[in-house]
Amino acid sequence: NGGRGAISGRREKYVPRGGPDGGHGGDGGQVSIVTDSNVTTLSEYRYRRRFRARNGGHGSGGLRHGANGSDECLRVPVGTEVWVEDGREGYLLADLTAEGQQLVVVRGGRGGRGNSAFVSSTNRFPRLAEEGEPGEDMTLRLELKLLADVGIVGAPNAGKSSLLAAASAARPKIAEYPFTTTEAILGVVERRYDSFVMVDIP
């Protein structure tokens, strides 16, 4: 949310520039989603579900304006789809397919003005200030697309990860118990002048 403006004033003797000096409130922060090639899964969003930016600071006397609220940035893998949950089927908001692509999903509220902004020729000391505007709120669903040419499908502990490790430079976790692979792993298979992407599907 945006910060509220302040009602303040100076009425000191021998101070020629007295009058209202209420500062403005700061703007609320925004929440954005950014693609990052160093992030490979959406697992960190499995347990933490609520993200919020900071509120804007309140104004105060002496024309001191509130600080803007800090932003919240969610880093996701390339190939993430952002869906809006609106109570029905939802709709696709964006398909993030490039490195460093940024999408602002909710914006913060504007900060309120202090009483110094309402001075007029007829009202030299206004006792009026604005409240900050509320920030936006939205429910989203993130889905990760895996772009691969070949998918390895089989029973648990059948050797899918071993096949991927033998055919490509990928190094998945390999152990002698079922369900070792908990998330899909990509590997590039190269043969002479041709190549394709293989994925180990848990």
- Encode pLDDT of 59-105 as tens digits: 998 889 999 999 999 999 888 999 998 777 788 999 998 899 999 99
Q: How far apart are CA 145 and CA 79, in angstroms?
A: 5
Listed in order, strand segments (DSSP E) in the chain are: 9-10, 19-20, 31-35, 72-76, 80-84, 91-96, 102-106, 140-144, 150-152, 185-191, 194-200
pTM of the model: 0.69
23 or 202, greater pLDDT: 23
Biggest CA–CA distance in the chain, Å, is 88
Which pLDDT value is given to residue 15?
A: 67
pLDDT higher than threshold 70 for residue 17: no
Comparing CA positions, the residue from 15, 29, 115, 17 lying closest to residue 65 is: 115
Residue 39 burial (C-beta neighbours within 10 Å; 0-12, 13-18, 19+) = middle
Let me know: does 23 contact 3? Beta carbons within 8 Å.
no
Residues 6+ apart with CB under 8 A from 44: none
Tell me the CA distances in angstroms from 196 to 78, 104, 148, 162, one per residue in order: 18, 34, 8, 18
Residue 182 has pLDDT above 90, yes or no: no
At 109-162, the pLDDT tens digits run 999 999 989 988 888 888 899 999 999 999 999 998 877 788 888 888 888 888
Q: Give pLDDT, residue 32.
A: 96
Q: What confidence tens digit (pLDDT) does each residue in 23-60 have?
A: 999 999 999 999 998 887 787 888 888 999 999 999 99
Round the average pLDDT of the chain to a whole number and report it. 88
Give backbone dihedrals phi and psi of 32, rounded to 5 degrees, phi first: -130, 160
| pLDDT value of position 74 | 95
Give the contacts of 37 (CB within 8 A, at least 6 positions apart): 77, 78, 99
pLDDT for res 16 = 66
Whether 202 shows a pLDDT value over 90: the answer reads no
